[in-house]
Structure 1
Amino acid sequence: MDSLLKHMVDMTGHRDHAMLDLSAVAAVQELAGAQHTRVLSLAAVGPARYLRARASVDDGGAPRLEDEAGPGETLEAYPELAACLAAQGARAEAEQAGRHTMWVPIWRGELAATILEIARAAPFTAAEIHTIDGIVGVYRNFRNLLEYSERDSLTGLLNRKTFDDQLARMLQCAAEQESPLPGQPERRQKGTGHEQWLAVVDVDHFKLVNDRFGHLYGDEVLILIANMLQSSFRAHDRVFRFGGEEFVVLLRSTTLENARRIIERFRAGVENHHFPQVGTVTVSVGFTCIKPYDSPVVTLGHADQALYFAKTHGRNQVCHYDQLVADGLLATVASNDTAEFF
């Protein structure tokens, strides 16, 4: 009982989705005696649905956030889970080669974008299922509260209201990774090249889409692009809708080459996607490194400058602020008065 209460307190003490996921897998792993536990995201890309791990824990290990990019595994690879979702069921179970797996969808109305997966050698007893249901109930209710206050109603992405807090956390993280002052201990291994990144995405000629096809098709374009953003970036990156046709992505610790590759893959995916009725849609992207002692206004201004350069030099491209400055194509400024974010 003490362990259960401790996990419940830990789960409800977070205001961050990633930390809540870690608390949930830790609680289920211990209390269900599992060998492996994962929190999975379920996302649609066109007619197909994909599963991608957000957090996981193995027997004897520490809970961890997953660093997956790309859409993940197809739902078709999990027929028991697919049947459960089609029937809006409470759980699905399967046994293969002596490994028993249970999937518990986290329903929000008629939608289940999050699924808990629990695997172990022994079958699940009625008492263990009862305990799991209790943990899942707390996790579901608290997650839904966070979702309600943090999500954009059209796309399901994080909304503008949550951006400031998320960026402040990344700035703090970047500051903690900086080299220490003289006399202070070293806080990270130098030379890894891992940084935090901010990307601003804008749909090219979106007003023409609304004017030509109507706002319903315009909204569908935004929803599809939001789905592509979620499937293109890693589970622990953060994607926001700023309003209109503007989106912002916070990429957690990664290299410049990897950040550019992920962003470019998303841009190409949009260009090659056929949007119903509308046809071809493209996006322009500007991105910048999040420097620990820059203010949020300066960081956004840099990304917005890179985006403005992309849109005024042909659109449908990805521009890196620091590279533009190094090439003499942009002048370094403290902030961008033309930015539309404030």
Structure 2
Amino acid sequence: MSEKKGLASLAGAPDQSMFKLLGQVRAMSSSRDREQMTLRLVTAMRDVLGASEVTLYAVSASPKGPVGAIVAVARPDHEQVANEDEDHPPVALHEDAFLDGAIRSSDGVAESNTDGIYRLALAMGDAGNPHALLVARCDVAPEARVRDAFLHVAHFYQNQLDLLDYAELDTLTKLLNRKTFDENFDRFIASVGRAQQTDPERRQQDDLAARPSWMGVIDIDKFKRINDTFGHLFGDEVLLRVAEVMKHSFRQRDKLFRFGGEEFVVLLRNVSEADARAIFERFRTAVETHEFPQVGQVTASAGFTRIDPVLPPAEMLGHADEALYFSKENGRNQVNCYEDLVARGLLEGPKQADNTGLQADIDALFD
């Protein structure tokens, strides 16, 4: 029978482990990169606990119970942040009684099972509804103060992420803000470029890596009229609800930004054009059928374009804007792909297109 207990009551550890842990904490505190901080966390826990594996999961809800997506893993021979270019099937956390219990605990739990495996787990975020779960597996139970340090370092990591969130997230919608777009887009572009430079034969074997990536621009239809008719408080409520619909409609690895006002930008990774269109259509339909108190029905339009690492970011954003403009000009509440519109002769190609004043035209049309 497994034995569970709160980690907060545990105590005792060698000085060498504590010094090693302090070094990792110092490195973590000096980083402003979310991925590097996450890598430091799982590496620190592996080294200090002498763990055979440390895994950080992003936790989300499912009809059957909480599931986890692997964010980072550290084992004795290597550590890595999950590759966003790969699909990782969700882990059914609710099917493991220990992990399910850890999700519902605010203090963390420990277990020694009959197989001789010792596990520690700590949920991060709201009690009972965490956004992450840190799990360590050890062949030998660590000393008490080391186990206690696991809890405190994980909380330190969470506090650092909260500071990053304050700087990187839009205060109203909690989507990524405009300020973080450049950094995220540069990283996104670099990833797409690496995939394209991969050996063609290997890309052919790796179906996922061979798929393109996309940038989409979304705008709430007639949003100015909503503000003018119902007031800015209801306008903010519409923005909040649309942002929530976005979080549920797009995939966990997609990047969602509030660009300002009622405009949003989405970065989709490794999907065919048909699947990209289906994802945007899923979002469009979800907004159209969502109940907005007082306001009634709200719709959104979108335009998207293929990511090409050779093109300047402004040009790709302009292509997505042109597709969005077409959606707005031709009835709103629809999704269009720039490349498809060009192929059908409905938009001029990039060499002939004159984007001067395009954003002003779009703004005027949205009013």
Q: Give the distance between the partners of 2:107 and 2:60, measured in 1 at CA.
A: 16
Pairwise CA distance, 1:305: 0.6
Q: Give the distance between the partners of 2:238 and 2:111, measured in 1 at CA.
A: 37
- C-alpha spacing 1:68/1:157, structure 2 compared with 1 (3 Å): farther
Q: Does 1:103 align with 2:114?
A: no
Which structure 2 residues correspond to residues 35-184 of structure 1 after superposition, within 5 A? 35=53, 37-41=55-59, 53=69, 55-57=71-73, 62-65=79-82, 80=101, 83-84=104-105, 89-91=106-108, 102-106=121-125, 114-118=131-135, 120=137, 126-179=144-197
Pairwise CA distance, 1:240: 0.7
Can you list the C-alpha shifts for 1:175-194, whole angstroms capped at 9, x where unaligned?
Answer: 333449xxxxx488344432
Q: Give the distance between the partners of 1:254 and 1:13, measured in 2 at CA.
A: 35
Q: Does 1:189 align with 2:213?
A: no
- Contact 1:221/1:275 (<8 A) preserved: yes
- C-alpha spacing 1:91/1:194, structure 2 compared with 1 (3 Å): same
SS of 2:156's partner is: helix
- The amino acid that maps onto 1:264 is E
Q: Which residue number corresponds to residue 5 of structure 2?
A: none
Count of matched residue pairs:
329
Q: Give the distance between the partners of 2:69 and 2:173, measured in 1 at CA.
A: 21
Pairwise CA distance, 1:292: 0.9
Q: Determine which structure has more spread, i.e. the larger CA radius of gyration.
A: 2
- C-alpha spacing 1:74/1:233, structure 2 compared with 1 (3 Å): farther
Which has the higher mean CA deviation after the structures are superposed, 302-311 or 119-128?
119-128
Pairwise CA distance, 1:92: 5.6
- Contact 1:37/1:118 (<8 A) preserved: yes
Please report the RMSD computed on the Cα atoms of aligned residues, expressed in angstroms: 4.0
Q: Give the distance between the partners of 1:231 and 1:69, measured in 2 at CA.
A: 18
Can you list the C-alpha shifts for 1:215-272, whole angstroms capped at 9, x where unaligned?
Answer: 2222112112212222332333211101111111112333333323322222222222
Higher helix share: 2
Q: Which residue number corresponds to residue 324 of structure 1?
A: 341
Q: Give the distance between the partners of 1:94 and 1:272, measured in 2 at CA.
A: 46
TM-score, normalization: structure 1?
Answer: 0.78
SS of 2:277's partner is: helix
Q: Does 1:292 align with 2:309?
A: yes
- C-alpha spacing 1:266/1:6, structure 2 compared with 1 (3 Å): farther
TM-score, normalization: structure 2?
Answer: 0.73
Identity %, equivalent residues: 37
Query: Please, which runs of 5 or more residues in structure 2 have no aligned partner?
Result: 1-16
Q: Which residue number corresponds to residue 183 of structure 1?
A: none
Q: Give the distance between the partners of 1:70 and 1:279, measured in 2 at CA.
A: 37
Q: Does 1:244 align with 2:261?
A: yes
Pairwise CA distance, 1:331: 0.6
- C-alpha spacing 1:173/1:3, structure 2 compared with 1 (3 Å): same
Query: Please, which runs of 5 or more residues in structure 1 have no aligned partner?
Result: 181-185
Pairwise CA distance, 1:315: 1.8
Q: Give the distance between the partners of 2:142 and 2:104, measured in 1 at CA.
A: 20
Q: Give the distance between the partners of 2:327 and 2:89, measured in 1 at CA.
A: 24
SS of 2:213's partner is: strand
Pairwise CA distance, 1:332: 1.5
Q: Which residue number corresponds to residue 303 of structure 1?
A: 320
Which has the higher mean CA deviation after the structures are superposed, 204-213 or 321-330?
204-213
Q: Does 1:283 align with 2:296?
A: no
SS of 2:188's partner is: helix
Which has the higher mean CA deviation after the structures are superposed, 302-311 or 25-34?
25-34
- Contact 1:38/1:55 (<8 A) preserved: yes
